[in-house]
Amino acid sequence: MTDTLPIHDLVGLVQPQLDRLNRELILDLAPGHREMLPLVEHVGGFRGKQLRPVLTFLSGIAVRGASHGGGLGDDVVTVAKVIELLHTATLVHDDVLDGGSLRRRIPTVNQMAGVEVAVLLGDYIYAKAFHMAVQLPDPTAARWLAETVRVICQGEITQVLHRFDLAWSEARYFTVIAEKTASLYAAACRLGAYYSGSSEARLRALEEFGLELGIAFQIVDDCLDLDGDERIVGKSLGTDLSKGKITLPMLYLMQRGPAEAERLRSVLGKSEAEALRRLHSEFPLEHAIAYAMEEAQRRIAKAQASLSLLPKGPGRDALHQLAGFVLTRRL
């Protein structure tokens, strides 16, 4: 189940496309006024694993099977760029929401240039992404991604409205993480396949793959916030607790009875350090993490099973391995 292959081996298959994407994104974001250039360049430094464009490219390759001939069309690269920009815009705004000061070890936009510039720069990047999407002759990506961003925001707003809500349920947790996180993974896979001429059945299989992978990714993220190694994860941990976000391991602990739920309530809203210390010392956190990771494993197994509809080939193999990687990541 767990696959220890480092991600860069999997990415090799799409390295040329990824290099092109990163080269072009710098030019695409070029602002009309030179004083904005440092901001735009700074945001380029947030570049991480770039899982979403990798999924778009691998999905495009996977639907063609062994006979793909190596060629992904220009439109697939455009779609991947749009998705990476949309993701970047959500990061810039997420940092405003969390009051975060560091992202990938460099200052957040709000830290560097203030909340006002960060809100506006996020809007700027969203607009740039939509503008790029509507240049495509086929409007499918623009339509799908506008709806996806709406769903992402809907999920995030719902999460904010239910912080500190002890009546929160697993069903609603899964809905919210599907909306706020997995929907963009699902779109990345579906649209990579669509713009590579996929059949409807394969589109749907890849969309499900992305959705389940995205849900697993968020579950692991939520576990790392409670149980990760801060030096490896590269961001401050315990923020879900201090913000009152109730994630899957917390839901497990709350299910152990009303008294336990009440005790947990007293941990929420504390400082990150105190909340983490109390959670580790007063609750069976290991069981809670194991419970959540089992759910993530089931999601990854489901994602991998959905690949059976695709033709055998290096694209399908790489997606299968990538899904396994989600469970072993420590950052």
Task: Choose between 117 and 301: whose C-beta lies nearer to a copy of itself.
Answer: 117
Question: 269 φ, ψ to 5°?
Answer: 90, -10
Task: Choose between 153 and 309: whose C-beta lies nearer to a copy of itself.
Answer: 153
What is the nearest approach in angstroms of a copy of itself to the Cβ of residue 308?
A: 31
The two tokens of residue 179 are 């909306």
What is the nearest approach in angstroms of a copy of itself to the Cβ of residue 153?
A: 4
Burial class (CB within 10 angstroms; exposed 0-12, middle 13-18, buried 19+) of 158: middle
Interface with a copy of itself (CB under 8 A): 31-33, 35-36, 39, 93, 96-97, 113-117, 119-124, 126-128, 130-131, 133-135, 139, 142-143, 146-147, 149-154, 156-158, 160-162
What is the nearest approach in angstroms of a copy of itself to the Cβ of residue 277?
A: 26
Bridge partners of residue 118, in order along the sequence: none
Alpha-carbon distances, residue 72 vs 104, 194, 243, 301 (angstroms): 30, 12, 42, 28
What is the nearest approach in angstroms of a copy of itself to the Cβ of residue 268?
A: 16
Task: Choose between 225 and 227: whose C-beta lies nearer to a copy of itself.
Answer: 225
Bridge partners of residue 106, in order along the sequence: 103
Buried b (16+ CB within 10 A) or exposed e, 209-229: bbbbbbbbbbbbbbbbbbbbe
What is the nearest approach in angstroms of a copy of itself to the Cβ of residue 33?
A: 5
CB atoms within 10 A of CB 101: 12
Task: Choose between 116 and 274: whose C-beta lies nearer to a copy of itself.
Answer: 116
